[in-house]
Amino acid sequence: MKLRTWIVPGIVVITASLLLVTVSGCWPRWTSEAAEQTTDDAYVHADLTPLSTRISGTVRSVEVNDYQAVQPGQLVIQLDDDDYRADLDQANAALAAARAEYAENQAAKTVQDARVRSAESGVAEAVAAVRAAQAAVAASRPDVVRTTEELARQKALIASKAATQQQLESAVADAGRFTGMLDSRQADLEKAQAALESARTALDAEQRERSALDVHDELIRADIQAKQAAITVAAVNLGYTKILAPAAGAVGERHVQVGQLVAPGMDLIDLVEGDVWILANYKETQLTRVRVGDGADIRVDTFPGVKLHGHVAEIAPASGSQFALLPPDNATGNFTKVVQRIPVKIVLDANHPLQGQLRPGFSAEVTIHVRAASKGHRS
């Protein structure tokens, strides 16, 4: 009797143990190979853009209210732009002055070109004068030679009593006259050569002045480019006084009021963009067969009874814990294995019934239909 009393409980215990071992051993495989993977750790998401300013200034007006819908390019906040308009006007005036200086330099170059041509004409005239003086000297030398030789001959004749004193005096006069004429012509030649040297020096000075104007041209052109860049910077800064909505969406919170002084980088207002998606945090054991493109059904807690459809757009490259401010370090201390969750981005199909009604932060339940589940295990 005692043996029979223990047989039934023993069989139950053994059967339960075998069942427990079987379930615990096969449960992960059953979970990972399921055709549908469901999680309630899912939420509606959208791009949240904090709009900030790149310049300092005073808020002149806030053109939107909290939670107001906005369109791309719509004015959200206007900063006081008087100073920046003055900077732009000053930059335009500086550019006009630089262009006027450039025009003045062009006129100076025209005048200087005329001076260079005049100096070149002076050099040409001086060269001609030198050549004329050289020709005059050359023409005078034969007369000097002739009269000098005649004077020597008359002196010889007078010594032999073959010539008269009058003939000698005439020869002396002729020789002196032509010698003096030659000296005068040589003096004219030296004067002409000196004038040529002076003309060449003047031409060189005028040409250097012309080159200096060309260099000044380059400086002015560089200054004009700098002034144009300054206008661009001033115009850009003026544009920064208008804070515009970068995309369609709704205003979140306003962080500034009219009259408030703001600094570069300061958050002024939050914009929640209109395109929403679902971020589902799946256990790592559920993503064995999930692939990008798999279909998904979404139920949002706020709208019970409404089923939305979408597809897997992206699977995060790491678990959510890896993006935490202090990622876990399992290499230290005691270790307890915790199943990690991987974010999966679900994009809703177009023209879904809750268009414009979903808000970031809504809780949802997502079921992914795994297309690879019926194709066997992929290595």
222 shares a domain with 139: yes
The confidence score (pLDDT) of residue 52 equals 92
101 shares a domain with 68: no
The confidence score (pLDDT) of residue 374 equals 47
More reliable by pLDDT, 308 or 188: 308
For 26-83, how does the pLDDT look when each residue is reduced to its tens digit (9 = 90+)?
445 556 678 888 999 999 999 888 999 999 999 999 999 988 989 999 999 999 999 9
Asked if the structure places residue 239 within a domain, the reply is no
**CA-CA distance, 80 to 267, in Å (whole number)?**
17
* 285-294: average pLDDT: 89
92 shares a domain with 128: yes
The confidence score (pLDDT) of residue 379 equals 32
Q: Is the pLDDT confidence value at 373 over 60? A: no
**CA-CA distance, 3 to 76, in Å (whole number)?**
87
Asked if the structure places residue 192 within a domain, the reply is yes
Asked if the structure places residue 45 within a domain, the reply is yes
Domain boundary among 206, 234, 262: 234
286 shares a domain with 157: no
107 shares a domain with 72: no
Domain boundary among 234, 262, 291: 234
368 shares a domain with 229: no
Nearest to 274 by CA among 47, 50, 57: 47
DSSP secondary structure letter of residue 313: E
Asked if the structure places residue 7 within a domain, the reply is no
87 shares a domain with 65: no
354 shares a domain with 296: yes
Asked if the structure places residue 283 within a domain, the reply is yes
Domain interval for residue 204: 83-234
Q: Is the pLDDT confidence value at 229 over 90? A: yes
CATH code, domain carrying 202 = 1.10.287.620
Domain boundary among 209, 234, 259: 234
Q: Is the pLDDT confidence value at 145 over 90? A: no
276 shares a domain with 175: no
The count of structural domains within the chain is 2
Asked if the structure places residue 16 within a domain, the reply is no
**Confidence tier at 319 by pLDDT (50, 70, 90):** confident
Q: Is the pLDDT confidence value at 178 over 80? A: no
Q: Is the pLDDT confidence value at 276 over 70? A: yes
CATH code, domain carrying 340 = 2.40.30.170
For the chain, the straight-line distance linking the first and the last C-alpha, in angstroms and rounded, comes to 56
For 192-222, how does the pLDDT look when each residue is reduced to its tens digit (9 = 90+)?
889 889 889 999 999 999 999 999 999 999 9
The confidence score (pLDDT) of residue 366 equals 95
**Confidence tier at 352 by pLDDT (50, 70, 90):** confident
123 shares a domain with 62: no
Cβ neighbours of 158 (radius 10 Å): 16
Nearest to 46 by CA among 373, 317, 360, 376: 360
Contact 176/131 with Cβ under 8 angstroms? no
**Confidence tier at 20 by pLDDT (50, 70, 90):** low
Beta strands in the chain (DSSP E): 36-52, 57-62, 69-70, 75-79, 242-244, 249-254, 261-262, 267-283, 295-300, 307-315, 341-348, 363-369
* 4-17: average pLDDT: 66
Contact 60/79 with Cβ under 8 angstroms? yes
The confidence score (pLDDT) of residue 136 equals 80
Q: Is the pLDDT confidence value at 376 over 60? A: no
115 shares a domain with 57: no
Q: Is the dihedral of CA 166, 171, 172, 178 positive or negative?
A: positive
Nearest to 190 by CA among 133, 132, 258: 133
267 shares a domain with 291: yes
Nearest to 245 by CA among 275, 270, 276, 277: 270
Asked if the structure places residue 259 within a domain, the reply is yes
